[in-house]
C-alpha cells in the first residue's frame, strides 16, 4: 500500500502547544511585555517557531508584523527564545494516543518513516529525543533543512528522492491545511487528523484524502494491505 509514510510533528504526533506557549510567554515576560493566550498561540503554530514568535511579538507590542521583520528584532530574540524553549521542552508536551504503537507497527512492517516539519531542526530534534521517538525515523526534514519549507513541495520531494520511493507509494499524515497543500503539490496521498493545529478551522475543509481519528489508522491500513495484497 505505502512504502513511505511522512508525518508532520506538532499537532500530529506530539501535543506541543502548552509548552510552546510557556516558552513564548517566558520570552515576553523577559522583555517586559504582556503575555499572549495559549488559544492564540495554537492558531499561530504551523509555520515554524520564528514565524510564531513574529506573531506573538507583534501582538504583544501592537506593532505591524512587517515592521518587526524590518527592524531585525527577531534576530535578537530568537536565541533567547531557544533558551526558554529548551528549558520547557518535555514539560507539558505529550505524544498523542497511538503514536508510539503506530511507529512501531510501521517499522515492523518495513515501511520507511520520515518527519517533515516546519519547526527548526534544533527544536524538532529536542522534541523527538525527549519523547523517545527519534530512532523510528529514516530521515527528518525540518523547517531550516532546505531552502523552502511547507507548503512548498520541496521537503516531500526531497524525502521521496532520498528514500527512492515513488510518489504514488507515499503517504503524508498531518493536521493542517498546510500539510494538505504540501502533499497535493508533491503528488502524494494525504490523510489528516482532526485534533491538531489548523488555525481553528475543521481539517475536513482542506479536503484531505481521508480524515482519520488517530494515526493508528495508518498502521491499520498498512497491516490490512499486507494481509490482503492486491491481485
pLDDT digits (tens, 9 = 90+) for 82-126: 999 989 988 999 999 999 999 999 999 999 999 999 998 988 999
Q: How much is the pTM?
A: 0.92
Note whether 45 and 52 are within 8 A (CB).
Answer: yes
What is the helix, strand, coil percentage profile of the chain, to 5? Answer: 50, 10, 35
Cβ atoms of 107 and 101 closer than 8 Å: no
Across the range 79-84, mean pLDDT stands at 95
**pLDDT at position 132 over 50:** yes
Active site residues: 8
* pLDDT tens figures, 209-226: 999 999 999 999 998 887
Sheet holding 112-116, edge to edge: 139-141, 112-116, 4-7, 170-174, 189-192, 210-211
Residue 231 has pLDDT above 60, yes or no: no
Please name each of the domains of the chain with its CATH number: 4-15+93-227 (3.40.50.1000), 17-88 (1.10.150)
Span 115-126, pLDDT tens digits? 999 998 988 999
Amino acid at each position: 500500500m505505502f512504502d513511505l509514510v511522512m508525518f508532520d510533528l506538532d499537532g500530529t504526533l506530539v501535543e506541543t502547544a502548552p509548552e510552546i506557549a510557556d516558552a513564548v510567554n517566558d520570552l515576553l515576560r523577559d522583555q517586559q511585555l504582556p503575555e499572549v493566550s495559549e488559544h492564540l498561540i495554537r492558531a499561530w503554530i504551523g509555520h515554524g517557531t520564528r514565524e510564531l514568535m513574529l506573531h506573538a511579538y507583534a501582538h504583544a507590542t501592537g506593532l505591524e508584523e512587517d515592521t518587526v521583520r524590518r527592524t531585525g528584532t527577531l534576530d535578537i530574540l530568537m536565541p533567547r527564545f531557544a533558551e526558554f524553549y529548551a528549558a520547557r521542552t518535555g514539560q507539558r508536551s505529550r505524544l498523542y494516543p497511538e503514536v508510539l504503537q503506530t511507529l512501531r507497527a510501521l517499522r515492523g512492517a518495513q515501511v520507511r518513516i520520515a518527519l517533515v516539519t516546519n519547526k527548526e531542526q534544533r527544536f524538532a530534534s529536542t522534541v523527538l529525543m525527549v519523547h523517545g521517538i527519534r530512532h523510528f525515523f529514516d530521515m527528518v526534514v525540518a523547517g531550516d533543512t532546505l531552502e523552502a519549507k511547507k507548503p512548498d513541495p520541496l521537503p516531500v520531494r526531497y524525502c521521496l528522492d532520498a528514500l527512492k520511493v515513488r510518489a504514488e507509494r507515499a503517504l503524508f499524515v498531518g493536521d493542517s491545511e498546510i500539510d494538505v497543500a504540501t502533499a497535493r503539490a508533491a503528488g502524494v496521498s494525504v490523510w489528516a487528523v482532526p485534533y491538531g493545529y489548523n488555525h481553528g478551522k475543521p481539517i475536513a475543509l482542506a479536503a484531505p484524502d481521508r480524515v482519520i481519528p488517530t494515526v493508528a489508522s495508518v498502521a491499520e491500513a498498512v497491516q490490512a494491505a499486507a494481509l490482503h495484497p492486491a491481485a
